[in-house]
Structure 1
């Protein structure tokens, strides 16, 4: 079976700093060669040119030696297959294994993670950022914003929406809501929070009665006998009924201790008890809940919840600075202040983060190590060479420069000693 060819990724351009330092190091070496030729030509004219020649000659040797050493790390110097050159390309798999082993031994051991996390105040850092998100790293905020937008846009909306809808329906279906409603109603009655509801019902009943006077008059007229209609007493009776109902509703609105209000409160108390303890009432509520869940209108409403939530999250993610300026931003700042001032909350969060990190190292440490090793193994030699050279090449060019100058200084010293002896 023929193994698939490795895909060679396009190589990024060398950083400007690396190119500049290569030019400086190479230019210095060329300059030393020019100075050496000039000093060799002029050495018979004055003794000082001997010192110049010694310096330039030794500088060329030092510069060439360091150029060879630096180049040998990444490739064969001048393309010649000299032994023990192109060290990184030839040993990239071993480098990947060593890097993975280094991560495992120094970062992914649970005891090491626990010790390092012990010194980290995650809650404090989060609190400081939340308390002043606009004063922190805007680059971090913009990066998190772009990541959130890309994740939300890349999700399969149909599939994810179906999963969320199914999870919501299953959760509601498996939850018996009758006792919850009963406890909520009982707590509202105990705290007199039901009184505004009763007042609202009374006012609503008054408005309904006022808007339907004609219906009551028509009903009395239709049900009254012919004698009452002939004498006009049906109209008088309808007026009395309407006035009586108006007076009753007015009294209920003005007097909290009205007998009918007391009866209504007794009915609410009895309803709260039945919702919690009556099997018949609980069965009725469950049947009503299931009927609502099966109703197409309810399903359409549930279907739209995820899309509305997704669009809202997208709007917030696209405008992180506007987000932190609104109500959510105020809540974030309050949470940040709490994290910094609450002496019990911060240790709890730090302990949770520490345990989560230790658990991740325990559960996924080996997988992370294998991922690093396999990733490096999968890179082609050119890729890893280019990435390492771009990362540390600028500092390596300083080695060439230092080698040129140090070599020249040693050559100058040796020339001076030779003359002294």
Structure 2
């Protein structure tokens, strides 16, 4: 069985840099060979003096640039010549300079805020949400797969316990009485309580019909022997049932019915008590704590978490289907709003600027320190290889240019000498 190829994690030479290095060195060798050849045949062919001048100066220029390029990264020919191997010897200073550059140009809060003032993040988010196509589709699919893998990979029982504990803790620390009172008062002011009240009246009517025999039995059991002897117990139960039925019909059809008005007054009083009366608020909070401590509520929260987790994974595994449904409509509507409403867009952009500027102010120093310490931790060979990989091809062009320019200068000097 053939062995798998070994893949290096870091290629120290930029693609094409080795070829350019060979070309620059080959050109230098060719100039040296040309110089020796023209020197040998110049007495017989005087015009070769021009070629020799070109080759001689080109050789000098190529050697000078080779020395300069090599001195950046290492000692030429391994000799410890002063002011060579500049980058390895100064890597700590380079790291500090790079860190200072990042801090002064990117990680100062005022600089970040000024640069982001011209970036409309909200509009970009709106365009992405309204029509997430092209690169947006690839980003969405990649993010969806990541979300699905995270939710499937995490410990379900532990994560569910964390979520349930967070919800329960939040509900325990929250005083729900004022919220319920405010919601009820708002519903009464906007007359949104009317459907609820009418539904309660209809429920009373259905309960009366369902328990008519129970009411008649109660009247019959409580009637004395005189009423039973005269047969008035049946008439009394009929009257009670018909009276209650008539009451529910009148309450359902007459908004000004006294009993209905009493119910509305009781609701208004309850809304006020929930917000202002300590005794009522204490009773509601005690009921809330008792409800949260109930095992059935814990099971309901577990079921709620499982359904939510399954829905998230299902939507993440098929983002196109999720975007095509109600969620997609909501997101597209949000994107349209972000693009068309300058007030919302301005508020979001301002929040983003403040958030990023705050992160720069809080963590900029840590980032700078990380860059500086990372470069300081590299050995000389690593930093030399990384920088040479980044600029090695261009440096070899410098050697080639130096060789050719040197040759042209040699021709010019030879021409001046011949005048």
TM-score in terms of structure 1 length: 0.76
Q: Secondary structure at the match of 2:83?
A: coil
Q: Is residue 22–residue 397 contact of structure 1 (8 Å, CA) maintained in 2? A: no
Q: Which residue of 1 aligns with 2:400?
A: 401
Q: Which moved more, 1:211-220 or 1:232-241?
A: 232-241
Matched, 1:30 2:26: yes
Deviations 1:164-216 (A, max 9, x none): 55554444334332232222212212211111112222333344444445545
Q: Which residue of 2 aligns with 1:19?
A: 15
Q: Is residue 145–residue 317 contact of structure 1 (8 Å, CA) maintained in 2? A: yes
Q: Is residue 76–residue 82 contact of structure 1 (8 Å, CA) maintained in 2? A: yes
Q: Which residue of 1 aligns with 2:286?
A: 287
1:102 and 1:179, CA in 2 relative to 1: closer, same or farther beyond 3 A?
A: closer
Q: Is residue 25–residue 401 contact of structure 1 (8 Å, CA) maintained in 2? A: no
Q: Is residue 21–residue 398 contact of structure 1 (8 Å, CA) maintained in 2? A: no
Gap regions ≥5 residues in structure 1: 1-9
1:19 and 1:216, CA in 2 relative to 1: closer, same or farther beyond 3 A?
A: same
Q: How much does 1:98 deviate?
A: 1.7
Q: How much does 1:396 deviate?
A: 2.4
Q: Is residue 96–residue 373 contact of structure 1 (8 Å, CA) maintained in 2? A: yes
Matched, 1:249 2:248: yes
TM-score in terms of structure 2 length: 0.76
Q: Is residue 59–residue 403 contact of structure 1 (8 Å, CA) maintained in 2? A: yes
Q: Distance in 2 between matches of 1:140 and 1:402?
A: 44
Deviations 1:90-141 (A, max 9, x none): 2211211222222333333444444434444444444444444435555555
Q: Distance in 1 between matches of 2:102 and 2:227?
A: 100
Deviations 1:208-245 (A, max 9, x none): 44444554565566666789889998777766655554
Gap regions ≥5 residues in structure 2: 1-7
Deviations 1:44-96 (A, max 9, x none): 79777665665555545444443443333233445554443332222211211
Q: Distance in 2 between matches of 1:318 and 1:97?
A: 45
RMSD (Å) for aligned C-alpha atoms = 4.3
Matched, 1:85 2:84: yes
1:207 and 1:142, CA in 2 relative to 1: closer, same or farther beyond 3 A?
A: same
Q: Distance in 2 between matches of 1:400 and 1:65?
A: 8
Q: Distance in 2 between matches of 1:374 and 1:124?
A: 38
